[in-house]
């Protein structure tokens, strides 16, 4: 199963020999929804490859408020954790399972060796850096240039696309934490979106109507 999931999610990027070596070197771990996979100030000894599920990557301010940076899907890795590992720094992000997720944890020393000796791994890592960098720029643009109601609607559409469903099971507090705002603000804006016929609200559930 481990080898099959690796081939399915990473076979288009990594060569067969490396896939086999990753399967032999990695440790499978499964996390339930809201489990912390990587925490802030944690010393990282393993690099996560996401085999199934979704993982939220968050930053935290001095008061403990969180901001969603990006979401990982199967076939991806967290480049912010890669940076910490390669520089032997402690983690500056928190990675949380958004749903039940299975990851393959790769020892740091293996990753470093592959980066220097395997072209497919090196290209995968560099492409991952570029993708995450673009997503972080988009997050900054959203905060700097978009109104909160626009950010909220975009967040909901991204969430719906991620789960391939117009219906999102989520509480207002979770949205507020991801968008770094208050639950009261989120609830008020959701009501406005419902009044404008863009969404339909139910208990712990939001249905998008204008996709």
Instruction: Answer whether residue 73 shows pLDDT above 80.
Output: yes
Q: Please, which residues bridge with residue 103 across strands?
A: 29, 50
What backbone phi and psi angles, to 5 degrees, belong to 47? -105, 130
For residue 211, name the pLDDT band (cuts at 50, 70, 90). Answer: low
The per-type count for the chain, helices as H runs and strands as E runs, is 8, 10
Instruction: Answer whether residue 88 shows pLDDT above 80.
Output: no
Q: Give residue-wise pLDDT tens across range 14-36.
A: 999 999 999 999 999 999 999 99
Instruction: Answer whether residue 104 shows pLDDT above 90.
Output: yes
Q: Return the H-helix or E-strand segment holding 162.
A: helix 148-163
Q: Which of 80-84, 180-184, 201-205 has the lowest mean pLDDT?
A: 80-84
pTM across the whole model: 0.80
Q: Label residue 69 exposed, middle or buried (CB < 10 Å: 0-12, 13-18, 19+).
A: buried
For residue 84, name the pLDDT band (cuts at 50, 70, 90). Answer: low
């Amino acid at each position: 199963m481990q080898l099959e999931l690796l081939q399915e999610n990473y076979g288009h990027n990594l060569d067969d020999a490396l896939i086999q070596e990753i399967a032999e070197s990695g440790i499978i771990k499964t996390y339930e929804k809201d489990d912390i996979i990587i925490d802030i100030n944690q010393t990282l000894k393993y690099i996560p490859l996401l085999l199934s599920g979704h993982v939220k990557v968050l930053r935290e301010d001095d008061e403990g408020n969180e901001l969603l940076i990006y979401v990982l899907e199967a076939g991806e890795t967290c480049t912010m954790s890669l940076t910490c590992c390669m520089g032997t720094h402690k983690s500056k992000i928190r990675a949380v399972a958004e749903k039940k997720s299975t990851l393959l944890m790769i020892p740091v020393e293996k990753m470093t060796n592959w980066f220097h000796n395997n072209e497919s791994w090196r290209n995968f890592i560099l492409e991952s850096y570029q993708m995450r960098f673009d997503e972080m720029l988009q997050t900054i643009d959203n905060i700097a240039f978009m109104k909160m109601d626009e950010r909220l609607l975009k967040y909901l559409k991204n969430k719906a696309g991620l789960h391939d469903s117009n219906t999102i099971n989520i509480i207002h507090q979770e949205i507020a934490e991801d968008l770094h705002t208050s639950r009261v603000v989120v609830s008020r804006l959701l009501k406005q979106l419902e009044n404008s016929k863009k969404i339909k609200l139910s208990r712990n559930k939001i249905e998008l109507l204008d996709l």
